Amino acid sequence: MPRTLPEPPVEELDMTAILTALVDPARRAIMKRMVEGPEPFDCSASTWCETLGLTAPTVSHHFRTLREAGLTRTVVDGRTRTISARRDDVDGRFPGLLRAVLGPG
96 vs 35, higher pLDDT: 96
pLDDT for position 50: 75
pLDDT for position 46: 63
Number of domains in the chain: 1
For 49, the domain range is 3-95
CATH code, domain with 22: 1.10.10.10
Tell whether 81 is covered by a domain.
yes
What pTM, to 2 d.p., does this model score? 0.89
Tell whether 75 is covered by a domain.
yes
pLDDT in tens, 67-103: 999 999 999 988 888 888 999 999 999 999 999 999 8
pLDDT for position 40: 65
Tell whether 38 is covered by a domain.
yes
pLDDT at 105 over 60: no
In whole angstroms, give the CA distance from residue 58 to residue 55.
Answer: 5
In whole angstroms, give the CA distance from residue 8 to residue 15.
Answer: 12
| Strand extents, DSSP E, 1-105 | 3-4, 41-42, 72-77, 80-85
78 sits in which H/E element: none
